[in-house]
A = this chain, B = another copy of it.
Amino acid sequence: MLDETTKGVFTIAATPFLPNGALDFDSIDRMIDAYIEKGANGLTILGMMGEAGKLSSAESVAVVRRVRTRCAVPVIVGVSAPGFAAMTALSQEAMDAGAAGVMVAPPMGLRTDTQITSYFHNTVDALGGIPFVLQDFPLATGVQISPAVILQIVKDCPTCVMLKHEDWPGLEKITALRKASDKGARRLSILCGNGGMYLLEELLRGADGAMTGFGYPEMMRQVLDAFQAGDMDRARDVFDAYMPMIRYEAQPGMGLAIRKHSLARQGIIKHPTLRKPAAGLTAETIKEIDALAARQTRRLCELGL
């Protein structure tokens, strides 16, 4: 079960589709295996990157079950929904299937601090005792959550055990939360998203690991290992080798298509298909990705990776 001490690399999983848009269960199996082989300590499924909003509720349950059957690492299930009835239903299915916890992003439209804390009070009511991750991703949700509000939620809601951190800029937020827990606030686990763009600085500020879906998920493991070994030069060398691609993926609205392209190129999933509505990649974009991938391979080779 997820708790405040959870650490390491939680890979955000894509949801693979066949060219006709149906779920591709064979690719789910292969992808889960690859994520774990490349160093995932856990998985997060049905997040934004998992195209969760585009699945029917039956499909969501089917994905959760398939993933749980395939692997033994902790699985977090994204359950953000327009209303609590749907959130409760999916959360219960997920926990019944053996999930370690769920993840909730606040809905677009919340503005004041009070609206945000109320929303999470209601979330706790909806989830019962299920441990949950607060996903703080203002670029996607439009909801700005200050450190003081996060600390209020941490105080009010014992089942909030982890922050998926992807505010931007967000480094000061990590520092503020760690200073608060040094002074006695409950310390929650912080795993960082944002495609890994600030991973090294996030670790320096006190994050417990990474939770993102970068197309070469071994990056998180390699950076974290070097960092934990205290070899900062090595950590920066590895991190910088991936940075041109991390930055390319960071283009809003394009990241998922780029990642699925990269995963398919590596044979991790069979098709790069996204469900509609989704922008496809142009020939120019694919050429750019492939050029970056080739350089990345060379550079990693120089680093002995």
Contact in complex: A276, B84 (CB < 8 Å): yes
Contact in complex: B172, A282 (CB < 8 Å): yes
Contact in complex: A54, B84 (CB < 8 Å): yes
Interfacial chain B residues near A20, Cβ < 8 Å: none
A252 at the interface (CB under 8 A from B): yes
8 Å CB interface, A207-260 against B: 236, 239-240, 243-244, 247-248, 251-254
- Per-residue CB contact flags for chain A residues 91-120 toward chain B (1 = under 8 Å, else 0) read 000000000000000001101111000110
Report which of B108, B114, B146, B171 forms a contact with A112, defined as CB distance below 8 A.
B146
Q: How many residues of A contact B (CB 8 A)?
A: 59
Interfacial chain B residues near A169, Cβ < 8 Å: 251-254
Report which of B84, B240, B295 forms a contact with A275, defined as CB distance below 8 A.
B84
- Per-residue CB contact flags for chain A residues 270-299 toward chain B (1 = under 8 Å, else 0) read 000001110000101100100000010000
Contact in complex: B83, A247 (CB < 8 Å): no
A205 at the interface (CB under 8 A from B): yes
Q: In the bound complex, what is the Cα–Cα distance between A284 and B295 (angstroms)?
A: 32
- Per-residue CB contact flags for chain A residues 112-131 toward chain B (1 = under 8 Å, else 0) read 11100011001001100000
